[in-house]
Structure 1
Amino acid sequence: MKRTRYTKFNGDLASSLGLEDLMEALSDFLLDSGFQDPMSQFQELDGDHNMENLREAIRQVLEDGSFLDMEAQEQYEAMSEEQREEMIDQLVERLEQGNFIQQEQGDPSETQSSSGPGEIQQPAPPQGEARFNVTDKSMDFLSYKSLRDLLGGMGRANMGRHDTRYEASGIESSGSSKPYEFGDTMNLDVNATLSSALQREGLGLPLNIEYSDLHIHQSEYQSSCATVVMLDCSHSMILYGEDRFTPAKRVAMALSHLIRTQFPGDSLHLVLFHDSAEEMPIQQVARVRVGPWYTNTREGLRVAQRILARSNKDMKQIVMITDGKPSALTLPDGRIYKNAFGLDPIVLSETLEEVARCKRASIVINTFMLAQDFALMQFVQKVSAMCRGKAYFTTPDKLGSYLLMDFMNRRMKTIH
């Protein structure tokens, strides 16, 4: 008789660690937005994705005391310095083999003379410095973790699950019925059908049921939705002693994973707005850092409208996450008008005019405001009133719950 004997795993410590657990422990380093948090264990690494910083981040995780269990921690502390360095090298190699990171060698001829969309200009890395990129697999994993942390268990949903005030034929009954029309799902309401026949012919046998007597159950008409997340990446998102940008990125990642897995009929797009505005693939949101400085809300709304105009979804919405007042405006000749002091009347009027265009296009604007300035609150409330949207005055730690729970509650209505 064949038997299987189980014995304790005696392999090296690096092979026994789970890569997903390690990625979760490194998430603050991988999602760094440029905020110098004095309480962060990765503060001195500046969010620079070079291989030396990655090794140092792994070293800090292993030495933290909360990642390894007691037995593994004792085993790690008993290692020599050379053994620890070898273990870190093995973990880096496992991350590469698991397609969580991709290593690239720095080109001495490359410089960072200009900053890309949503990034603060950074000095050029040392010549020949080895760097790494976080792969799409890692982004998907971190998105799932963000969603799990924000909402926990998820309910089931199918394509086009947003409730509206309309009804249609289907399998899920809402309690009401209607006369059958050609093309409707034959979800027969027996009671209403018999009642119609009895009212027409009276009580008697046999009961003659005609085409006009047929009634069917109605189900709630559920629609698909096109969503544009407008993410403020102006420099104020990491000023004033608080990181507001990293939580916003985590929420966008979680929303992306939620729509992809629970609402496959929906579409999600990302627009970054700062001095100007541009669309960015939602898969790249985790790699975005803050910058440039100002807040061009009108240009962000313009880009979002162009995206929604080419969408064929029944419902269209803009989810705007910001912490600052509109302070920039793109002029007709392409120049940027900027005023960081107060709600500039020119900027304000042009931004509200763009909001009015959204209203005429039946686009709902839901605003999540990470600031408590009274004048700014009045502006946000006016935007929400114009587009029949909602305004949430929240904090970075509560942003995810407000945004995702609002999306899951499916309280949006299609306006006709």
Structure 2
Amino acid sequence: MTADRYRYGPWHDGPDPLAPPIDLREALEALGRDVMEGSSPRAALEELLRRGTRGTAGLDELTRRLWERRSRIQRRHNLDGTLGEVRELLDRALAAERTALFPDPSDDARFREAQLDALPPGTAAAVRELAEYDWRSPEARAAYEEIRDKLGQELMESRFQGMKQALNQMRPEDTERIRAMMADLNELLLAHLRGDDTKDRFDRFMRKHGEFFPENPRTVEELIDALAARAAAAQRMMNSMSAQQRAELSELMANAFGDPRLAEQVATLDANLRALRPGEDWTSSARFRGQDPLGLGEGAQAMADLAELDALAEQLAQSYPGARLEDIDLEALQRQLGDEATVDARRLAELERELRAQNLLERGPDGSLHLSPKALRRLGENALSDVVGALRSRRGERDTAHAGAAGEPTGATRAWAFGDTEPWDVSRTVRNAVLRTASAGAGAVRIDVSDVEVVETERRARAAVALCVDTSWSMVQDDRWVPMKRTALALHHLISTRFRTDELALITFGRHASTVDIERLTALEGVWEQGTNLHHALLLAGRHLRRNPDARPVVLIVTDGEPTAHLEPDGEAVFNYPPTHRTLRKTLAEVDALAKLGASVTVFMLGDNPSLAAFVDLVAKRGGGRVVAPDLDGLGSAVVGDYLRTRRSR
């Protein structure tokens, strides 16, 4: 390709093209851990999004920042800004006027001083009384006119965002332009309220007065939305003031720009917007307790920010029906928390989409969310990978990539890895080298390590494996629940991918025992029930072994308690604690029955209960197996290692 066919430009929005890909492995690990601890897949996904991942803040952290910002706004500010500034300007005007009158001995000067002395104490009333006063001091006149301009600017800023800056240098014609815009705006809104077709009128209005609306609304509905949100914020600000402050400010607004008609237009605008958007929040209030005073326009913006923060908190909570992360207003989040928070929210939404797009989550017939078979395979792969890492020190047991060390070719090949001793598949190795060389445009064909493929072999002997796992409440209570499930996942993945001719049965036992598939075991919730019915589990294990008479029988038991329940001939589970002789006899009878089938029974004992230790020693002696007492971190490697040891001993 020639250089002139490429075009480069600035990146404005959307996913960062240079951002690292979403780490689904970490997310799936977190999902699997929560599911195995008893959460539903939906709850686990929600928890993952709330918690976030490494390098990405979760919804809880973003919500915390929102509430922190909300609290900071209320702690830092108060709403006395406009009243305080007007009082300061009024005091400056009165002081300048008295200074100008003092040297004048005339009766007119004394009369004027008397007028100033008789002003009412309230700021709004004093400003109103001085509306017709003929100022002697130019400085006093300028200060008083500044009061009227400031009131006008604050009034406009409270209803039209950005207006205050546009009106910093007021001229008489500017006041007339604002009055004309307000009149046209109210006519437009009244027509829309009546149900008239206002499209053409809106277009004319925007051509004439568009400079007052930096939001650049495209329709009359967008215009109404922007105005109503701002007006409602201004009303909530007024609601947040004391009754005295509210009365003073309302009276002052009548002097905005020295023209009471403008305040009337604003009142009409508010009434129209209330009728058009009754669903806006016009009635609530907030408490401001800080020292930094806010003007009318700044106060309206603070109330708008608080409303936006509340809306964002609701979106991040995802607690309403049909909630999705795509609902989060990223522009609002950027305004309130900055670019970093926006990136985090976007990556969380992308993570949720990818989990669904990669078919790691699926819906069952009842609409509930489940981990898909693909997700279970990945969880099993991760669990097996951890187990293999723990077996590194034992060369004969670590390399689960071997399908059989001294077997026959399966017909399959795989890429060579360090430590492999299988013969090369010469034809596929040469083919890989030719293809790689041709794609690179090189001349001579040279074999690289990456080209080598080896022949996969397997043993023809089969094993029938029964993994019996204790699901009594003590396993949950003593934090053995997840290690037990990860062990089952690792063994299931090893057998289903490396030793496909072996038959695995997963058997759970509490008060009763049952044979389950890996999906059900992974999602199994801990239930408070009394009983460790190993007798029933061994009955099911024996049934599995008899269904595979040509396979070598292997029984693996993971438990943290001696048997406290057994099954009667009528199917009733009888519980007794401490264990009765009948329960122990029936359990050991099943161990003897398994020994007659040639089964190797290995017990993985969790905990240090002396009575349990005595019982499992007896089981190992009578079942021709052994007892392993691993810690929780080593449970998986102990079970998988024993399975591999048993296969090699055949």
User: Normalising to structure 1: TM-score of the pair?
Assistant: 0.66
Aligned counterpart for 1:26 among listed residues 19, 22, 31: 31
What does 1:211-226 correspond to in 2, within 5 Å? 223-226=461-464
What residue is the counterpart of 2:449 in the other structure?
none
2:41 is equivalent to residue 49 of structure 1: yes
Deviation at 1:156, TM superposition (A): 3.6
2:510 is equivalent to residue 274 of structure 1: yes
Aligned counterpart for 1:132 among listed residues 369, 383, 386: 369
Deviation at 1:5, TM superposition (A): 7.8
Distance 1:104 1:330, change over 3 A: closer
What does 1:105-116 correspond to in 2, within 5 Å? none
Distance 1:222 1:93, change over 3 A: closer
Counterpart CA distance in 1 for 2:386 and 2:602 is 23
What residue is the counterpart of 2:167 in the other structure?
none
Deviation at 1:93, TM superposition (A): 2.5
Counterpart CA distance in 2 for 1:323 and 1:17 is 39
Deviation at 1:18, TM superposition (A): 2.9
What residue is the counterpart of 1:333 in the other structure?
570
Deviation at 1:82, TM superposition (A): 7.7
Q: Deviations over 1:160-180 (max 9, x none)?
A: x6x9xxxxx989xxxxxxxxx
SS in structure 2 at match of 1:29: helix
Q: Deviations over 1:44-65 (max 9, x none)?
A: xxx24335x5233223123xxx
Between the two proteins, the alignment pairs up a number of residues equal to 312
SS in structure 1 at match of 2:52: helix
Deviation at 1:17, TM superposition (A): 1.4
2:542 is equivalent to residue 305 of structure 1: yes
What does 1:173-188 correspond to in 2, within 5 Å? none
Counterpart CA distance in 2 for 1:380 and 1:287 is 28
Aligned counterpart for 2:495 among listed residues 259, 263, 266: 259
Distance 1:2 1:283, change over 3 A: farther
SS in structure 2 at match of 1:223: coil
Contact 1:301 1:354 in 2 (8 A): yes
Aligned counterpart for 1:158 among listed residues 398, 403, 411: 403
Contact 1:55 1:89 in 2 (8 A): no
Q: What letter corresponds to residue 363 of structure 1 in structure 2?
A: A
Deviation at 1:354, TM superposition (A): 1.0
Structure 1, 370-379 or 289-298: larger mean CA deviation: 289-298
Aligned counterpart for 2:385 among listed residues 119, 129, 148: 148
Counterpart CA distance in 1 for 2:7 and 2:33 is 37
Distance 1:325 1:150, change over 3 A: same
What residue is the counterpart of 1:175 in the other structure?
none
Aligned counterpart for 1:290 among listed residues 501, 505, 526: 526
Counterpart CA distance in 1 for 2:646 and 2:40 is 39
What residue is the counterpart of 2:559 in the other structure?
322
2:15 is equivalent to residue 12 of structure 1: yes
SS in structure 2 at match of 1:337: strand
Q: Deviations over 1:6-34 (max 9, x none)?
A: 9999852699313233212433223224x
Q: Which has the higher contact order (CA 8 A, sep 6+)?
A: 1
SS in structure 2 at match of 1:302: helix
Unpaired runs of at least 5, structure 1: 34-46, 107-129, 164-168, 172-219
Deviation at 1:328, TM superposition (A): 0.7
Q: What letter corresponds to residue 324 of structure 1 in structure 2?
A: G
Q: What letter corresponds to residue 258 of structure 1 in structure 2?
A: L
What residue is the counterpart of 1:91 in the other structure?
351
Contact 1:231 1:271 in 2 (8 A): yes
Structure 1, 15-24 or 75-84: larger mean CA deviation: 75-84
What residue is the counterpart of 1:403 in the other structure?
639
The structure with the greater share of residues assigned to helix is 2
Distance 1:48 1:283, change over 3 A: closer
Aligned counterpart for 2:624 among listed residues 388, 391, 402: 388
Counterpart CA distance in 2 for 1:5 and 1:391 is 68
Counterpart CA distance in 2 for 1:156 and 1:222 is 16
Counterpart CA distance in 2 for 1:290 and 1:260 is 26
Question: Of the two, which has the highest radius of gyration?
Answer: 2
What residue is the counterpart of 1:102 in the other structure?
362
Q: What letter corresponds to residue 248 of structure 1 in structure 2?
A: M
Contact 2:491 2:640 in 1 (8 A): yes
Counterpart CA distance in 2 for 1:340 and 1:238 is 19
Unpaired runs of at least 5, structure 2: 63-332, 390-397, 410-457
Counterpart CA distance in 2 for 1:61 and 1:287 is 22
Counterpart CA distance in 2 for 1:412 and 1:358 is 20
Aligned counterpart for 1:353 among listed residues 562, 570, 589: 589
Runs of 4+ in 1 over 6 A off after TM superposition: 3-10, 80-83
Contact 2:400 2:494 in 1 (8 A): no
Counterpart CA distance in 1 for 2:611 and 2:633 is 23
Counterpart CA distance in 2 for 1:55 and 1:411 is 42
SS in structure 1 at match of 2:41: coil
Contact 1:230 1:300 in 2 (8 A): yes
2:600 is equivalent to residue 364 of structure 1: yes
Q: Deviations over 1:328-372 (max 9, x none)?
A: 11112222210132x321111111111111111111111101021
Contact 2:408 2:460 in 1 (8 A): no
Query: Equivalent pairs: percent with the same residue?
Result: 25
Q: What letter corresponds to residue 377 of structure 2 in structure 1?
A: D
Structure 1, 388-397 or 10-19: larger mean CA deviation: 10-19
Structure 1, 79-88 or 381-390: larger mean CA deviation: 79-88
Deviation at 1:289, TM superposition (A): 2.3
Deviation at 1:141, TM superposition (A): 0.4
Q: What letter corresponds to residue 491 of structure 2 in structure 1?
A: L
What residue is the counterpart of 1:230 in the other structure?
468
Deviation at 1:262, TM superposition (A): 1.9
User: Normalising to structure 2: TM-score of the pair?
Assistant: 0.43
Q: What letter corresponds to residue 54 of structure 1 in structure 2?
A: L
What residue is the counterpart of 2:50 in the other structure?
59
Counterpart CA distance in 2 for 1:230 and 1:285 is 11
